[in-house]
Amino acid sequence: MAISTTHAPAGGESPGPAPRTGGTGTERRRLGALLHKLDIKGAPYAFVAPFFVIFAAFSFYPLVYTSYISLNRVELATLDVMEWVAFDNYVELWGDERFWNALANTITIGIISTVPQLLMALGIAHLLNYRMRASLFFRVASLVPYATSVGAAALVFTMIFERDFGMVNWALGSIGLDPVNWEHDKWPAQIAISTIVIWRWTGYNALLYLAAMQAIPADRYEAASLDGASRWQQFIHVTVPGIRSTIVFTIVLSTIGATQLFGEPLIFGQGPNGITGGADNQYQTLGLLLYEEGWKNYQMGRAATVAWAMFLLLILVFVVQRLIKRLRSRTS
């Protein structure tokens, strides 16, 4: 409160006009103190308000409203006409083969893309952690795929995996193997799509690991090497535990990404085949199913139901992850 007399110079931008005439010194001082108090109490909320207001309006509210829409029949052409159907959409979805297919595809593509991605990222981070020349080059190079949009990356890989003239089949042929029909067959298609995901995100995850590795105190390594631990043992017993929270963080991020997978399979299918995830839905993910229901079949209520199912899947994954964590900490 001691500063109330010196408030005036800065007052030009302060909220509320300062009384210029008629006020005695004490009044002005009192007003200054009041403004100061208001500033101290109110400014923090004003500073964080924009984030929460925009988040509430464009993220939280839609998320909650999704659950209401999923209990209605709404068509794309007439968005303001809602017909209450209670849980019909959920019952239909439960009985819909395409939903279970999309769920299974989302999980398998999620595993095929996440596990190798994070393991390779761990290895790359370990290599980047050496002292070396050109380390900046390698770090930036590992991030180049991250700078490439889903669209561009998926287009290139679609061409690389092309059946007739694609580079992968050409390479297979040159070592005497039969060409693979990457788009048409289920597992090849899922592997090709996972390759796009792996390519885009491995380097990014490697840098997250590298940052965490650099924060491990050097004396832990020294203690380990005094105990006669080999480099590999040091990696397993010092490095990996040292970056465990970052590993969990990347698993969470990749899991979220995997449940939302959309652009890669869409573009890989090249047009009409993309939305259905191939002619036999062999690589249709939940994200694609959501889009198909809403914007191809014009059933927004059912699209919202798929979205809600995706959300439940995510929660389920986190619950399982929590359980595993608790079990592990209990056993150790």
Q: Is 296 in the site for another protein (CB under 8 A)?
A: no
Minimum distance, C-beta of residue 321 to another protein, in the bound complex (Å):
12
Give Cα separations from 46 to 35, 39, 125 (angstroms).
Answer: 15, 10, 41
Tokens 């059946």, located at residue:
163
Q: Is 285 in the site for another protein (CB under 8 A)?
A: no
Q: How far apart are CA 40 and CA 34, in angstroms?
A: 10
Q: What are the structure tokens assigned to 262, written together? A: 């959309």
Q: Which residue in 102, 118, 289, 304 binds another protein (CB under 8 A)?
A: 304
Interface region with another protein, contact rule CB under 8 A, candidates 90-98, 186-194, 289-297, 323-331 = 289-297
Residue whose CB is less far from another protein, 89 or 281: 89
Q: How far apart are CA 36 and CA 330, in angstroms?
A: 52
The interface mask with another protein, positions 184-223, x = CB under 8 A, is ---------------x---xx--xx-xxxxxxx-xxxxxx
Q: Which residue in 81, 91, 141, 323 binds another protein (CB under 8 A)?
A: 141
DSSP state of 18: P
Q: Which residue in 81, 91, 256, 320 binds another protein (CB under 8 A)?
A: 256
Minimum distance, C-beta of residue 332 to another protein, in the bound complex (Å):
23
Write phi, then psi, for 281 (nearest 5 degrees): 55, 30
DSSP state of 146: G
Q: Is 144 in the site for another protein (CB under 8 A)?
A: yes
Q: Is 176 in the site for another protein (CB under 8 A)?
A: no
Q: Is 290 in the site for another protein (CB under 8 A)?
A: yes
Q: Is 18 in the site for another protein (CB under 8 A)?
A: no
Q: Is 3 in the site for another protein (CB under 8 A)?
A: yes
Tokens 């590795």, located at residue:
213
Residues facing 78 on adjacent strands: 75
The separation between CA 178 and the C-alpha centre of its own chain, rounded to angstroms, equals 36
Give Cα separations from 120 to 31, 63, 153, 187, 315 (angstroms).
Answer: 63, 34, 19, 21, 27
Q: How far apart are CA 209 and CA 118, in angstroms?
A: 10
Minimum distance, C-beta of residue 173 to another protein, in the bound complex (Å):
8
Minimum distance, C-beta of residue 39 to another protein, in the bound complex (Å):
5
DSSP state of 5: G
Residues facing 72 on adjacent strands: 84
Minimum distance, C-beta of residue 328 to another protein, in the bound complex (Å):
21
Residue whose CB is less far from another protein, 188 or 274: 274
Q: Which residue in 39, 92, 96, 280 binds another protein (CB under 8 A)?
A: 39
Q: Which residue in 59, 83, 297, 322 binds another protein (CB under 8 A)?
A: 59
Q: Which residue in 114, 117, 158, 285 binds another protein (CB under 8 A)?
A: 158
Closest by CA to 213, choosing from 242, 184, 193, is: 242
